[in-house]
Amino acid sequence: MDVLGNYKSVISARAADKDIQKKAQDGGIVTTLFAYALEEGIIDGAIVAGPSDEPWKPEPMVVTTKAELLAAAGTRYTISPNLQLIKEATRSYGLDRVGIVGTPCQVQATRKAQLYPIGMRDVDDKIALVLGIYCMENLSYQALEAIVEDHCNQKMESVKKMDIGKGKFTVYTERGAVSQMPLKYIHKYVQPGCHVCLDYVANLADISTGSVGSPDGWSTVFVRSNKGNAVWDGAMAAGLFETKDMEGVKPGLDLVKKLATEKITKNQKHVDERKSFGLKADGTPKALRNPYETP
C-alpha cells in the first residue's frame, strides 16, 4: 500500500459553520462530520476525547448530541484511549451505530476489533463511522507535563493554549505569558510505542483528516471507504464544508506525502533495527518482539 493508503478523493476543506471553525482547530472536519452523522442517524453516538479532572489530560467520552460534541471539541496533545469505550458504547450507552475518532494506531485497533473480534462481542457491525487524525508521534501525559512545567516553566492548569509549529512547542497562559521549548527536545519525550508506527494519515479510516498540506484553518481530507464516501457526499450536499481543489492549495499533497514517507521510513528502520537489537551467545543477533510478524 502507498504511504497515503487507499483513497477515493483528497480535498482541502473547512467547516462552513463559523462556531465550529472557531471551536475546533484546523478546519473542524471531525466535529462537522460527527454532527452531521448524528443528525442524519448515521451514528447514534460517538467516542471522542473529552476533558478529564486533570488539566490537559484527555479522557474518552461518548457523546450523543451535537451540544456534547461541540463541548468536547479541540486538539489534544496526548493520546486519549478512545478504544476503551468501544464495547461499552454498545452496552451501557446502548448504541447501535458508533462513531469513533482516533489516531492511525487507534484506527488500526478498530479494524482489528472488527476483523478479529476476540474480546469484542457484538461490536463489529455497530462501528458505523471511523474517523482518523494524522499523527506523527505522541506524548504521554507525564511527558506533556514535563515539557510544560519543566521546560516551559508554566503550570498545567494555567495554560490556555498549546501549539506546535515553526520548530517550537509554545504554551500560552491564561494571564498572557508565552513560553517556548525548541521542538528538538521533544524527541526523548515521544512514547516508545510510536517508534514502530507505520501509518501517518490513518490509512484504514473511513475518512481521515489533518491540517498538514492545507493552508491555516483548513484541513486535508482523505475520503477512503465506501462508507466514508457516502458520508462525505452527504455532508457536502448539505453544504457543511467549504472546499478547495487539493491541486491548487499550498503546501499541498506533496508535503503530506513527504511527511508520511519520512515517518514510515524512519519507523520501518526502527522496526528492522529491533530485529538485531541484542546478541546471542553464538554471536548472532537477538531480536525484540515484532508485532508485524507474530504475536
Phi, psi torsion values for 160, nearest 5 degrees:
-95, -35
Segment interacting with other proteins, rule: CB under 8 A, options 136-144, 162-170, 244-252, 255-263: 136-144
Cis amide bond preceding 251, omega within 30: yes
240 in Cβ contact with 221 (< 8 Å): no
132 in Cβ contact with 99 (< 8 Å): no
Of 15, 38, 42, 79, which lies in the binding site for other proteins, with binding defined by CB under 8 A? 79
SS (H, E, C) 94-111: CCCCEEEEECHHHHHHHH
Of 14, 76, 87, 97, which lies in the binding site for other proteins, with binding defined by CB under 8 A? 87
Binds 41, which of other proteins, ligand SF4, none (CB < 5 to 8 A, cut-off by type)? none
137 near ligand SF4 (CB under 6 A): yes
Smallest separation (angstroms) from other proteins to the CB of 124? 5
220 near other proteins (CB under 8 A): no
278 near other proteins (CB under 8 A): no
Alpha-helix runs per DSSP H in 73-198: 86-90, 104-115, 141-145
Residue closer to ligand SF4 by CB (options 138, 220) is 138
Q: Residue 124: how many CA atoms within 13 Å on its side-chain side?
A: 10
Binds 258, which of other proteins, ligand SF4, none (CB < 5 to 8 A, cut-off by type)? none
Cell of 71: 463541548
Binding site for other proteins (CB under 8 A): 1, 6, 57, 60, 78-88, 102-103, 105-106, 108-109, 111-125, 138, 140-142, 191-198, 203-204, 225-226, 288-289, 291-295
